[in-house]
Chains A and B, each alone.
Chain A
Amino acid sequence: MVAENSLTLHKCDIAIVGAGIAGLRAALETSSSNVAILTKVYPHRSHSASAQGGISAALGNEEEDSWEWHMFDTVKGSDYLADQDAVEIFARDAPRALYELEHMGVPFSRNASGKIAQRPFGGHTKNFGEKPVKRACYASDRTGRAILDTLYEECMKQNIKFYPEFFATSLLMDGGNCVGLTAYEIATGEMHTFQSKATVLATGGCGMIFKTTSNAYATTGDGLALAYHVGVPLEDMEFIQFHPTGIYKLGILITEAARGEGAILKNGKGERFMERYAAVLKDLAPRDVVSRSILLEIREGRGVNNSDYVNLDLSHLGRDRIEERLPDLSSFAKTYLGVDVATEPISVAPTCHYLMGGIPTDSEGRVLGEKGAVKGLFAVGECSCISLHGANRLGTNSLLDLVVFARRTGKAILDYLENARLETLPEDQIQNASKQIHDLIDSKGNERVHQLRKEMRTVMHDKCSVFRDEKNLDDALKAVRRLRERCQNVRLEDKGSNFNQEIVETLELSFMLDLSEAIIVSATVRKESRGAHYREDFPNRDDKNFLKHTLVSRSPDGPKISYKPVVITRFQPKSREY
């Protein structure tokens, strides 16, 4: 049981929720102040570790490259929904960010001249779309792990204070400003209050909403829901990326670097079908294009063995190259499929991978509420929406997003701290947070969290994933609303306070159901197809009516929709061919 009024108070300058690459990088920038990092897993376990193939920057180590080409590719990849002022900052800053990581100790793979090695990746091109360019820097196929470890170890060096296995349950607000947060300590069941001048959400995406995902179990959109609950609108939530190559049924990511190194997708007839969908880039077209192509092949009866997957063939690359450049991929295929990728193909299908939308921020991480920046609240990484990725993110742009914008956010926070102070905490909100846990433990309902989660993941996958239409979205909305009602009635079997995972899973589920509703409503009002959002009933892009960002906010009458314009600077929208 949680004892009444037992909240332990922590005072800090900055409370960061999430210890993935974004959270750690923000902490390192602000380590001269009093920083607390809360993470619901151990800092070493964050989902950033699963990023495989690379991090982009126009270093030109292998061939001519330029930040303008990188910017163009990102904008075109986003189906012209990205805010181009943010993309320009990003592409220009990329080389500096890469050198900084290298100086910090990230063990990048090297080319023959000892520079950071680079390889091709989907949608990254030379000279505004001419042909693939080698822009992805990498540490074999464990780039995320290599960066996460280095940043974590740098945090150790700087003695940054971690609160491992702390689950943030609410943001504390005072007159529209964020003044701290409440958190549930998983090991003890104790509730804590963090009183902070600045709070940073760095909690990652929400892939667990969908049945098949490359995301970790911990990827439940907590920060998105925390912001949504205090009235922050969420931006572009309809744009969910499905990565083309997840291991069939399991969803485990098979890196795009495989295709960067030359692997080919083949249908049941053994055809290289991507030639028909993207004549120039073929298998290296952006992810939205490749995922849809795979599912069209399957729908038209050309899946492998008439089933719902296609093959990814690496066998022509040779064992040595696979072992050097893609060792993790090779081991995943061996472990989970019993497949030797040097001689046999991997069965793959699209898997939910990334949220392009999220908590709206400016290019320095300030969270943008309905009335401008929310004082004291910042967001970085996948949970934020700058908007850099628009309607579809290019591979390798995510890792770069984390380090470029977390650093900028850290600098903005240091400026902010100069005139900020700890504010009085709202007692009623703290008591409510405590009561929420009590009520959960005391609940006499009859619903089980696992069953509800399973139903949510299935309905979202069947009715709101790669292909969408009005009827399916309506059905999904009704189903999710029923699940939300049932979620009020969850019964816990474990009523203990010591490492109670059932409590955490129930809180996560209620977050995910709110986000599911936000995703469905946003997808319903966007009556066009753009990037990862494909409406079968509106198959074309409609710039006249929908070249704008969707905002969804919570209201007593259900989610409320509004819009904001897209920032267009250098590149006017054009049709998007690859």
Chain B
Amino acid sequence: MKCNFRVFRYDPSKNEEPYYRDYEVEADPRDRILDCLNTIRWEQDASLVFRWSCAHGVCGSDAIRINGICALACQKLVGDYKSPNFLIEPIPVFPVVKDLVVDMEPFFSKYRLVKPYLINPGDTPTTERIQTPEERELIDDTIKCISCACCTASCPINIAINKNYIGPAALVKAHRYIYDSRDTATKDRLILLDSNDGA
């Protein structure tokens, strides 16, 4: 099927303002949006850039905005959409480096802020620490985060009110350690988040 892609383009070293460019791609409904972008890059316009790597929703590289909604380009198929017309833009909130590539440093600096590592100064046993399946289940959702930044880029507070707001991804990381039965720094972690930019 014929699909139309209107793609955000911006090279700060060349363009004063961002602009949109239209591409036509012949695609199968089972093709990923990522496949279509690669078709554009490889067959029509090699200057279009975006990040990607694993192409199946594990590495978290290819977060973009498809028709206004943040998603991974490798997890959305052409057939998931009713219309063959796609608006492709970089995720908001973060500064654009080029085209669909954004500067992720603000994202990772918030990630670092929540001390995303196990704190347990006590003696370590000679084998594993015991954690019941019920305790482990408390972090089952938060360890699924792949830090793609879609949530932080979609957050209305981050977008419209306070760019310094720590944002959902960092809070998920904080949650992952607060609820880990092996971590002993819960109180410090809660104090860390207790600010106007926190939760």
Residues of chain A touching chain B, judged by Cβ–Cβ distance below 8 Å, are 41-42, 44-47, 49-50, 59, 95, 98-99, 102-105, 107-116, 139-140, 142, 145-146, 149-150, 153-154, 156-157, 187, 216-218, 250, 252, 328, 331-332, 335-336, 448, 450, 492-494, 496-502
Contacts and interface: CB of A to CB of B under 8 A. Distances in A.
Given A105-B183, A216-B54, A499-B99, 12 more contacts: A42-B104, A47-B59, A49-B58, A102-B129, A107-B139, A113-B130, A114-B130, A115-B130, A157-B117, A217-B53, A252-B56, A498-B98
A110 B133 contact: yes
Interface in B113-162: 115-118, 124, 126-133, 135-136, 139-140, 143-144, 146-147
B42 interface: yes
A293 to B, nearest CB: 25
A102 B46 contact: no
Interface of B: 11-14, 30, 41-43, 45-47, 49, 51-61, 75, 77, 97-99, 101, 104, 111-112, 115-118, 124, 126-133, 135-136, 139-140, 143-144, 146-147, 180, 182-183
Contacts of A107: 136, 139, 143, 180
A45 B53 contact: yes
Contacts of A331: 57
Contacts of A493: 45-47
21 contacts: A44-B59, A95-B127, A102-B129, A105-B180, A105-B183, A107-B139, A107-B143, A107-B180, A108-B136, A113-B130, A114-B131, A114-B133, A157-B117, A187-B97, A217-B53, A252-B55, A335-B75, A336-B30, A336-B77, A496-B13, A499-B49
B59 A50 contact: yes
Nearest to B144: A142
Contacts of B42: 448, 450
Contact of A146 (B51, B127, B133, B143): B143
B46 A492 contact: yes
Given A112-B133, A153-B116, A496 B11 contact: yes
A104 B131 CA distance: 14
B56 A502 contact: no
Contact of A498 (B13, B51, B55, B133): B13
Contact of A494 (B43, B46, B55): B46
A152 to B, nearest CB: 9
B61 A45 contact: yes
A522 B171 CA distance: 51
| B58, B99, B180 — most chain A CB neighbours (10 Å) | B58
Contact of B128 (A98, A153, A499): A98
Q: Which 7 A-B pairs have the closest CB atoms?
A: A105-B118, A114-B130, A450-B42, A493-B46, A216-B54, A216-B53, A45-B59
A492 B47 CA distance: 9
Contacts of A99: 126-128
A145 B58 contact: yes
Contacts of B12: 498
A565 B67 CA distance: 59
A370 to B, nearest CB: 34
B60 A502 contact: no
Contacts of A116: 128
Contacts of B75: 335
B57 A335 contact: yes
A50 B130 contact: no
Contacts of A218: 53
Given A45-B61, A142-B144, A110 B124 contact: no
A27 B77 CA distance: 38
Given A50-B59, A105-B118, A145 B46 contact: no
A146 B145 CA distance: 10
Given A41-B61, A49-B54, A107-B136, A502 B46 contact: yes
Contacts of A217: 52-55
Contacts of B55: 216-217, 252
Contacts of A146: 143
B38 to A, nearest CB: 9
A217 to B, nearest CB: 5
Contacts of A450: 42-43
A101 B30 CA distance: 39
Nearest to B34: A217
Nearest to B42: A450
A105 B182 contact: yes
